[in-house]
Amino acid sequence: MGKTLYDKIWDEHQIAVNSDDSSLLYIDRHLVHEVTSPQAFEGLKIDQRNIWNKNSIYAVSDHNVPTSARDQGIEDKISKLQVDTLVKNCKENNITYFDLNDVNQGIVHVIGPELGITQPGMTLVCGDSHTSTHGALAALAFGIGTSDVEHVLATQCINVKKAKNMKINIKNNLRAFVTPKDVILYVIKKIGTSGGTAHTIEFAGKCISDMSIEGRMTICNMSIEAGAKSGLVAFDDKTFNYVIDREHTPETKHIDVATKYWETLRSDANATFDSTYEFDADLIVPQVSWGTSPEMTVDVTGNIPDPSEIEDPKKRDAIARALNYMGLKPNQSIDSITLDKVFIGSCTNSRIEDLRDAASILEGKKVANTIKQAMVVPGSGLVKIQAEKEGLDKIFIDSGFEWREPGCSMCLGMNDDSLSPYERCASTSNRNFEGRQGDKGRTHLVSPAMAAMAAVKGHFCNITDL
């Protein structure tokens, strides 16, 4: 019987099968950030344990860092202590750390692929749920909690049960102005936030094979929002061209052998999946989330749902509750939703391609004067430099956007960038949970292009109409 891509990477890394049918899986790369690691390092110290392989670890501060006035350090004392703790832990253990003023600093899921730390066929973990992002490079990547961070630091392994195989096939190509973000929001809307539970999802089909690596990252990033353990896309020429010539890419002398292995990183034609979905890219229009769960999403041409029309009482209550939290009315049209803030950034949509998309919409236009704040937070120092080379920063600033330093920023608002109560935000991030971007804040998940257009209009509108 054929193997799926997931089966292949799994088998390559499985050291042993445990009595409870979990497996001892070897981990090639471990990315570490300031929020989920201090207790893990502390645990090692208390038990006097060593780090198994410091060379497999790369650390960066991203969640809790300021996105302006970097030269003045971190003002918030508690945040500073957390970042300093990571610096200290990395120093003590001789771990590579990208300092706040390093051009390589950025959101952990942006810098991993960008620096060539993430490579096809690897297993990669990070104490962060959006680790699934790295699956776009045909790597098996998943998020772990702090106990597991400690476990991987100490043993280079994790005990984990194999997930089931799911395939999501997306045929045809995307229409103009429809982006990978719209694809993944559409998929989550269709299969639900627990649709992928206990599965690893492989994304395939013409739409995916024609998509850039950056776009695939957006899709794999949010596969966790569909409940999946990981997202994956098969290795192809695009992957090869992306991976080659990056700072931490395999040395030239290894490339031929590596490529031979990489070429095997696709599901066999006769592989079987536990479940399969088929979608048509041609039918996808820009998506806007209206509620407090990513599955609460509609077409930009659609309306807010009416709970009174929903039969299932649990669903009805959930919708009513979300509408109340979001301050929206049943049947309201999407283009009638006016915004207070616009955030372009996060590990979902802060790569150069995303910024180009947004800038192309903003060129020669101004942010509506009803918008209190519009900001662009590039995913990394390298993205920032590239954007500045292309003059995108000028377009953003001229239109009225703030141009910030890299980090997670308003995606979760652990630093100063957050929503005030009841403020409504068009955000290119991945979660619209209650309070995610700030206490009582209201988040609408959209693509960078849709966010840019909403900034100009002051409300959502269908960019495909323009």
Partner 1 sequence: MKNKIISGQVIPINQANIDTDAIIPKQYLKSINKSGFGKFLFDSLRYSRPGTLDDYEDREPNMDFILNKEPFSKGKILIANDNFGCGSSREHAVWAIKDFGIEAIISTSFADIFSRNSFKNGILLISVNKDVLKKLFKEIESNKEYILSINVLDQSITGPKNLTVRFEINKSDKERIIHGYDDIAITLKRKNQIIEYEQKMKKNKPWLFNDE
User: Which positions lie near ligand SF4, rule CB under 6 A?
Assistant: 63, 107, 109, 128, 130, 346-347, 408, 411-412, 429-430
369 binds partner 1 (CB under 8 A): no
For the bound state, the minimum distance from the C-beta of residue 461 to ligand SF4, rounded and expressed in Å, comes to 26
For the bound state, the minimum distance from the C-beta of residue 45 to partner 1, rounded and expressed in Å, comes to 12
Q: Which does 36 bind (CB under 5 to 8 A by kind): ligand SF4, partner 1, none?
A: partner 1
Whichever of 116 and 330 has its CB closer to partner 1, that residue is 116
Q: Which range, of 36-44, 207-215, 266-274, 388-396, touches partner 1 by CB under 8 A?
A: 36-44
15 binds partner 1 (CB under 8 A): yes
254 binds partner 1 (CB under 8 A): yes
Whichever of 267 and 415 has its CB closer to ligand SF4, that residue is 415
Q: What residues between 112 and 171 interact with partner 1 by CB under 8 A?
A: 119, 122, 127-129, 143-148, 150-151, 154-157, 159-160
d(CA 342, CA 444): 10
Instruction: With CB under 8 A as the rule, give the number of residues binding partner 1.
Output: 73
Whichever of 169 and 193 has its CB closer to partner 1, that residue is 193
For the bound state, the minimum distance from the C-beta of residue 222 to ligand SF4, rounded and expressed in Å, comes to 9
Q: Which does 411 bind (CB under 5 to 8 A by kind): partner 1, ligand SF4, none?
A: ligand SF4
Q: Which does 68 bind (CB under 5 to 8 A by kind): partner 1, ligand SF4, none?
A: none
φ/ψ of 33, rounded to 5, equals -130, 175
227 binds partner 1 (CB under 8 A): yes
Is-contact 365 451, C-beta < 8 A? no
Q: Cα 401–406–411 angle (5° rounding)?
A: 75
Q: Which does 458 bind (CB under 5 to 8 A by kind): ligand SF4, partner 1, none?
A: none
Q: Which range, of 28-36, 100-108, 333-341, 374-382, touches partner 1 by CB under 8 A?
A: 28-36
Whichever of 170 and 377 has its CB closer to partner 1, that residue is 377
